[in-house]
Structure 1
Amino acid sequence: MDPIVSLQGRTIVVTGAGQGIGRGIAETAAALGANVVAVDLNGETLAATLEALPSGRAMGVQGSVADPAVADRAVADAVARFGAVHGLVNNAGIIRPAMIDKMTDMQWQEVIDVHLTGSFYWMRAAGRHMIERAKGGDTSGGAVVNISSDAGRKGSIGQINYAAAKAGLLGMTMTAAREWGRYNIRTNSICFGVVETPMTEVVRGEKFRDQMLAQIPLGRWSTPQEVVKSVVYLLSDGASYVTGQHLGVNGGFHISL
């Protein structure tokens, strides 16, 4: 019996792979047999991730995800080295918190550029390659996983920029699923709750801890190692009939029909 989740022989691009969830995704994908293209702005953390990956099946790309030229170059270089790109995980993210009336134009734009516009650039670059392969007769398709957030479904006080960007990712996911289904390219999003990463240090701190945990039926935070399993599932053939969906991996923090 074939394993339910395998990425053997596939090439997966992971943005924000230098730490936290992104690094966990890169390491797990490699453990499941994938070639990994790790992307990060920070050269030191990127180098640390690459050291943890099999050297013959890993490639690093340093640059901003909000630069379309970086996305185009990364996909082209990955194809040149590994032959194809089969999966993309839009994971890179930043936060610039402020209440609506105090948020600056720069705080708004920086978050939108990374989370929303940046994800579009990488979807476009990877999608063009996957569509070209499909038109050439390659039926292997591809998979895109956009890392969204419950903030995009519930809102988030002090983070209108982040919540708007993550809500926008849901629309991008559904649109790509409708446009690209005929090419066997699946596009899904994952909405994480509170994961133990540097980005969630404030909400996990003493001021908000009890209030936040009271809203999570499982009563605890998740670890990066725990949530990355859902990402590699959506990249794999285990999810071969799943597209256009928003998977909540949040301990019950957001529950809906």
Structure 2
Amino acid sequence: MVVTGAAQGIGKATSELVVALGGNVVALDLNGTALREALAPLPSDRVMAVTGSVVDADLATRTVSDAVSRFGAVHGLVNNAGITRPAMIEKMSAAQWQDVIDVHLTGAFYWTQAVGRHMVQRVKAGDPSGGSIVNISSDAGRKGSIGQINYAAAKAGLLAMSMTAAREWGKHNIRANSLCFGVVETPMTEVVRGDKFRDGILAQIPLGRWAKPEEVVRTICFLLSDAASYVTGQHLGVNGGFHISL
């Protein structure tokens, strides 16, 4: 299982749960020190730490090759790595736009392509197990987000990426889905959970609270597992009811 952005928050919690459920994890993060600290409590024979940027296509290819050499195959990918560079539309710089698009969208494409190529080759070689790709999107990708046009656009793009991968690779038993989280208690959401925005956002969440990383990652592992063997091309909202639609 490859997990990007694994040093903290959702990525860290995902890695922990995958290992607890008996899987192996290839964990990637730009912050090597934080990544090693996050993985330290986990059994060393079940994890492989990779330090680097998701916006490195060669690293994605090398990592998949190394993972196959170590664990035999890659059956899952969680595109979780993310950053924010908030600004109102008229004030957003080209760099703020591009940084977020690169990490969330282009990076996810590189890792989807690298892992997907391996999965397709494995199936063509006679292994019918296929695989599962989970893209961590957001409600921002379905309803927009004031001050984050870059983030919202990237997260919307992930929805299309999931649907396209599902259509192209379904014949190989490779599934691709998106998870649209609301506000999860991670370092990246500290601003929106602060005094300025907290009450207004909580008022829009029927469950009336933020999500905890350890509870939302259960849905990631559901989509990775055989329990979701007939689920592909879908966008599952895990948001306490923040975005309710038909």
Relative to the length of structure 1, the TM-score reads: 0.95
Select 1:217's aligned residue among 206, 225, 235. 206
How far apart in 1 are the matches of 2:40 and 2:127? 32
Amino acid at match of 1:90: N
In the alignment, which residue of structure 2 is the partner of 1:148? 137
Select 1:34's aligned residue among 11, 14, 23. 23
Q: Secondary structure of the residue that 1:253 maps to in structure 2?
A: coil
Amino acid at match of 2:149: I
1:73 and 2:62 aligned? yes
1:60 and 2:49 aligned? yes
How far apart in 2 are the matches of 1:207 and 1:49? 31
Amino acid at match of 1:216: I
Within a 5 Å distance, the mapping from 1:198-209 to structure 2 comes to 198-209=187-198
Within a 5 Å distance, the mapping from 1:89-104 to structure 2 comes to 89-104=78-93
Select 1:253's aligned residue among 233, 238, 242. 242
Identity %: 74
How far apart in 1 are the matches of 2:3 and 2:160? 20
Amino acid at match of 1:122: W
How far apart in 1 are the matches of 2:148 and 2:62? 32
How far apart in 1 are the matches of 2:109 and 2:60? 10
Q: Secondary structure of the residue that 2:128 maps to in structure 1?
A: coil
1:113 and 2:102 aligned? yes
How far apart in 1 are the matches of 2:43 and 2:138? 30
In the alignment, which residue of structure 1 is the partner of 2:167? 178
Extract unaligned runs of 5+ from structure 1: 1-11
Aligned length: 246
Query: What is the CA-CA distance between 1:50 and the residue it aligns to?
Result: 1.9
Select 2:148's aligned residue among 141, 152, 159. 159
1:22 and 2:11 aligned? yes
Query: What is the CA-CA distance between 1:52 and the residue it aligns to?
Result: 2.2
In the alignment, which residue of structure 1 is the partner of 2:227? 238
Amino acid at match of 1:136: A
Q: Secondary structure of the residue that 1:218 maps to in structure 2?
A: coil
How far apart in 2 are the matches of 1:23 and 1:52? 11
RMSD: 0.5
In the alignment, which residue of structure 1 is the partner of 2:122? 133
How far apart in 1 are the matches of 2:37 and 2:232? 33
Q: Secondary structure of the residue that 2:3 maps to in structure 1?
A: strand
How far apart in 1 are the matches of 2:156 and 2:186? 21
Q: Secondary structure of the residue that 2:146 maps to in structure 1?
A: coil
How far apart in 2 are the matches of 1:71 and 1:38? 12
Extract unaligned runs of 5+ from structure 2: none
* 8 A Cα contact 1:27 1:52, kept in partner: no
Relative to the length of structure 2, the TM-score reads: 0.99
1:84 and 2:73 aligned? yes
How far apart in 2 are the matches of 1:152 and 1:208? 19
Query: What is the CA-CA distance between 1:68 and the residue it aligns to?
Result: 0.5
How far apart in 1 are the matches of 2:230 and 2:51? 33
Query: What is the CA-CA distance between 1:129 and the residue it aligns to?
Result: 0.1
How far apart in 2 are the matches of 1:56 and 1:134? 26
